[in-house]
Structure 1
């Protein structure tokens, strides 16, 4: 505007200056009226500077038109958010000359938001981009988001009424498949995701989390929500710079953490992890991502865990990251305990990972030991894999101190080693001899348990043998009472044959174990003699503390 058009100069956010009549604008704007209420009589040099005017010059121009048009203006879904926030900012809540004030008019317009078309709703949401601070406090942004989510909830239950031409839904018409079932599956998927592209082009990262919160509140399909977040990240990355990628990634992680983790695919989380490695995302988001992955660790694969370490580290893989996963996995069940099936999967996964990182010559003993002991001892049925990983580690790391080697070897539960592994251990010079003795003792305990078990089985079979010889029915009854299971009596003769076969198998195992033990004892004796013969004379070297 030219200076001759008004006596008030308005600087809007340093972007543009307006020259207007103070008397006209003050009639409708309470904020300006308060500023110049005591300046009546002053004719020139009136000026006001707005540093945070919502919507900038475009919004102020709309307000000026309203004032110069005697309080009348066409309000549509595109202009409603701007006018509403501007009216709040300028305190335009007073009625003049019988006309409705601007705040009241925009409020009435927003009450019709549920009748807006999909493109109109997107347009209104897009206009909220520059109004986030004011629109959030005034409620306009939340109204738009709630209306949009309500529309998505409705269309997910029926079919989208007004998808845009650029949305994935429109591409359904272009799809052709040979299988009707495949076409049905694909069209069903597109019916639930037709809005993805529309919102990717409209939503800034600071609006995405607000949208997800509204989706959770309205009980929208969380599986679809998580797919949208991954789609949003991939789509926006195409034209984003490094800083924008970091902001997008943090937003997606923070939004995913709001969802039920059963709706978030573990594979996709690892995809986000690999993207985030070089973006230096904030620690809070990093911890949140680790927690989400840890809670689903039983669904991970070995390749997922083989992540390069942070820049500057000389390890082959990021062991600390895996330790965090295990920590979150064990703590993620809320004190209810980890289901056995999930625990077994994680044990197999971590044991494979330990074997994979064991050859790393730069892996410290403390980190290796932390991996071995990360899961509770009771979680493993067998320590064979751990033993073989330790064997590799000891062969690669030949300069370990006696204390480090002892700590690592003590982490093995020798009672949970197989006979073959124990046999291998007795010939393994990398293991201190006392641990080979532990393995031998563990095998002897197995023998004792077998003998005890055999004795118990013999006692169960004895009454049947007596009955067969003496024909005493009473003992048959006693035995029958012992073999009642879930209210059903077991066939005595058949059960007796099974027990005899089991006893014969146990006897064979005892014989084999006795052979192994004798062999191990012989080997142990030879090894000890060999080691003693290679030790230096006590006269030439001081005696070491054992």
Structure 2
């Protein structure tokens, strides 16, 4: 055999192995070898050497090419080696015409005509091999055909799956494995639309990106696609180094952005965010992820928002700035652009968040006020939760100056406080005195407004202190009555409302009694003081007479 060949060429393949070959035979099939030899200026009779550093598939794959060349261009192509042969053939530029034979590129492309008869397993193996062999940024016709055939089987099985709709972003039911992989049995043996998840986890992230693009173009349910991406991320993270984790998350976030966001699991988005907080993700990736979460903020729970403060701000308990960015993404172009039902959910959520962060001893007043005002006042129906948060903040941060307290309290809309909270504010020592006085005025104004709206008489017994005192020398005549008016009230129809109004007014009357009693005691002391000092000639006005 040696007499038939002249071994004058050495080929070093990726440092794995050196092959000694016949230049004439190899160059007749490989355009790449031809080009390299034509550039050589070495004289004849000297052995030439070619070094490949990036041959796809390494020495084992190069040996397949050698066998093809030494066997006069004949090779048995099957699903198990078609990817290796095709990628290596393109690398070696084996598209030359050799008399009496088809070049290797032509043979591999012709073999793809049988791809529709391949089983799922054969197709999956070929796709994985092709994806692993191709360098970053490159693509082949063979790869596109693999992708198209694989996605076609997935889409077909999902369309014929008897399982309930899997569009709900929170519904999980991963894969019932299909033992039979033929194209016919796929339709009959798969009971869940997610049966293919585990099989595709073995593919690298570059191939996954191409698969997802193909699935989106084929209108596969976006809810199923998003669940697969989250499943892929969890499955690949086990032993992956940090750089690979970053690559996977950034690719997954990019793919999720191409889907209908309403089909994406909000819980899973937060899980990805929590994982990403410990990785060096790009700013662009973080912005996209935060934007998706923010756009769906009405789905969040309070626990979702209680993310720990980043390492550079260890003094804070929670990452308040992150939540503010979520809210900014949700509001988008303004409150008027958000559906009312969704807006109300977010307002309620942010009010609960305020109460939760208020006890943080390191939370600055300015930042706390920013969170209060982050929700436009027009979006709140009630300020009661904000009042509770402010009250708690003032209790914990007792060392604040009056100016700081005033600024924080100015963020509260007192007109939107309930009567119960207004009454509580009038005697709340945590608030600066001017706000307690403001509450008293607001309470009196509401009481007057209630009285002005009436035009039928209703009486309420008042305690003796609030009634006009009896003449000197006579005993008090007991409780007096205050006459109120109800606007043509039907006691039969409105008895509950009337009873509630009366009880509330009686309670307020008791409060006024206490106030007047304190004022009378104070005025009595002033009278005695004037008499003792000799300045009792002026009369003192009667209070609450």
Scaled to the shorter chain, the TM-score interval is 0.7 to 0.9
Aligned residue in 1 for 2:151: 149
- Name which of structure 1's ranges 386-395 and 76-85 shifts more when overlaid on structure 2: 76-85
Aligned residue in 2 for 1:389: 389
SS of aligned partner of 1:309 = coil
SS of aligned partner of 2:66 = helix
Q: Counterparts of 1:283-298 in structure 2 under 5 Å?
A: 283-298=283-298
Q: What is the alpha-carbon distance in structure 2 between the residues aligned to residue 524 and residue 243 of structure 1? A: 72
Q: What is the alpha-carbon distance in structure 1 between the residues aligned to residue 286 and residue 92 of structure 2? A: 42
Aligned residue in 2 for 1:184: none
Contact 1:294–1:327 (Cα < 8 Å) also in 2? yes
Aligned residue in 2 for 1:253: 253
Aligned residue in 1 for 2:321: 320
Aligned residue in 2 for 1:22: 23
1:193 paired to 2:190? no
Q: Deviations over 1:440-488 (max 9, x none)?
A: 4444554566567668x9xxxxxxxxxxxxxxxxxxxxxxxxxxxxxxx
The 1:214–1:357 alpha-carbon spacing in structure 2 relative to 1, beyond 3 Å, is: same
SS of aligned partner of 1:254 = helix
1:47 CA displacement: 1.8
1:28 CA displacement: 1.4
1:433 CA displacement: 2.3
Aligned residue in 1 for 2:109: 107
Aligned residue in 1 for 2:95: 93
Q: What is the alpha-carbon distance in structure 2 between the residues aligned to residue 298 and residue 520 of structure 1? A: 46
SS of aligned partner of 2:381 = coil
Aligned residue in 1 for 2:77: 75
Q: Counterparts of 1:392-411 in structure 2 under 5 Å?
A: 392-411=392-411
Contact 2:297–2:326 (Cα < 8 Å) also in 1? yes
The 1:523–1:69 alpha-carbon spacing in structure 2 relative to 1, beyond 3 Å, is: farther
Q: What is the alpha-carbon distance in structure 1 between the residues aligned to residue 519 and residue 214 of structure 2? A: 73
Contact 1:302–1:349 (Cα < 8 Å) also in 2? yes
The 1:272–1:189 alpha-carbon spacing in structure 2 relative to 1, beyond 3 Å, is: farther
Q: What is the alpha-carbon distance in structure 2 between the residues aligned to residue 33 and residue 513 of structure 1? A: 103
1:120 CA displacement: 0.9
SS of aligned partner of 2:385 = helix
Aligned residue in 1 for 2:205: 205
1:89 CA displacement: 2.2
SS of aligned partner of 1:52 = coil
SS of aligned partner of 1:249 = helix
| Structure 2: segments with no counterpart, 5+ residues | 163-173, 181-187, 457-487, 524-545
Contact 1:85–1:135 (Cα < 8 Å) also in 2? no
1:169 aligned residue (157, 169, 176)? 176
The 1:498–1:71 alpha-carbon spacing in structure 2 relative to 1, beyond 3 Å, is: farther
Q: What is the alpha-carbon distance in structure 1 between the residues aligned to residue 491 and residue 371 of structure 2? A: 47
Q: What is the alpha-carbon distance in structure 1 between the residues aligned to residue 88 and residue 518 of structure 2? A: 89
Aligned residue in 2 for 1:116: 118
| Structure 1: segments with no counterpart, 5+ residues | 161-166, 174-186, 458-493, 530-546
SS of aligned partner of 2:15 = coil
Q: What is the alpha-carbon distance in structure 2 between the residues aligned to residue 407 and residue 132 of structure 1? A: 62
Q: What is the alpha-carbon distance in structure 1 between the residues aligned to residue 518 and residue 142 of structure 2? A: 81
Contact 1:250–1:285 (Cα < 8 Å) also in 2? yes
SS of aligned partner of 2:337 = coil
**TM-score, length-normalised on structure 1?**
0.75
1:418 paired to 2:418? yes
Aligned residue in 2 for 1:429: 429
- Name which of structure 1's ranges 10-19 and 234-243 shifts more when overlaid on structure 2: 234-243
1:278 CA displacement: 2.7
SS of aligned partner of 1:373 = helix
Aligned residue in 1 for 2:299: 299
The 1:203–1:435 alpha-carbon spacing in structure 2 relative to 1, beyond 3 Å, is: same
Contact 1:372–1:411 (Cα < 8 Å) also in 2? yes
- Name which of structure 1's ranges 379-388 and 420-429 shifts more when overlaid on structure 2: 420-429
Q: Deviations over 1:212-256 (max 9, x none)?
A: 222111111211112222222232333434444444333333332
The 1:38–1:240 alpha-carbon spacing in structure 2 relative to 1, beyond 3 Å, is: closer
Q: What is the alpha-carbon distance in structure 1 between the residues aligned to residue 147 and residue 513 of structure 2? A: 76
1:197 CA displacement: 1.4
Task: Kindly tell me the number of residue pairs found equivalent between the two proteins.
Answer: 469
1:27 CA displacement: 0.9
Q: What is the alpha-carbon distance in structure 2 between the residues aligned to residue 43 and residue 422 of structure 1? A: 105
Contact 1:145–1:214 (Cα < 8 Å) also in 2? yes
1:149 CA displacement: 1.0
Aligned residue in 1 for 2:44: 42
- Mark the structure with the bigger radius of gyration: 2
Q: Deviations over 1:250-272 (max 9, x none)?
A: 33333323221111111222222
Aligned residue in 1 for 2:183: none
Aligned residue in 2 for 1:224: 224
Q: What is the alpha-carbon distance in structure 1 between the residues aligned to residue 197 and residue 261 of structure 2? A: 21
The 1:424–1:74 alpha-carbon spacing in structure 2 relative to 1, beyond 3 Å, is: same
SS of aligned partner of 2:330 = helix
Aligned residue in 2 for 1:478: none
RMSD: 3.7
1:190 CA displacement: 4.6
Contact 1:426–1:523 (Cα < 8 Å) also in 2? no
Q: Counterparts of 1:265-280 in structure 2 under 5 Å?
A: 265-280=265-280
Contact 2:176–2:190 (Cα < 8 Å) also in 1? no
SS of aligned partner of 1:327 = helix
Contact 1:135–1:141 (Cα < 8 Å) also in 2? no
**TM-score, length-normalised on structure 2?**
0.76
SS of aligned partner of 1:47 = strand
Q: Deviations over 1:74-97 (max 9, x none)?
A: 122222222222222222222110
1:423 CA displacement: 1.3
Q: Counterparts of 1:488-527 in structure 2 under 5 Å?
A: 515=509, 518=512
Contact 2:157–2:190 (Cα < 8 Å) also in 1? no
SS of aligned partner of 1:92 = coil
The 1:94–1:132 alpha-carbon spacing in structure 2 relative to 1, beyond 3 Å, is: closer
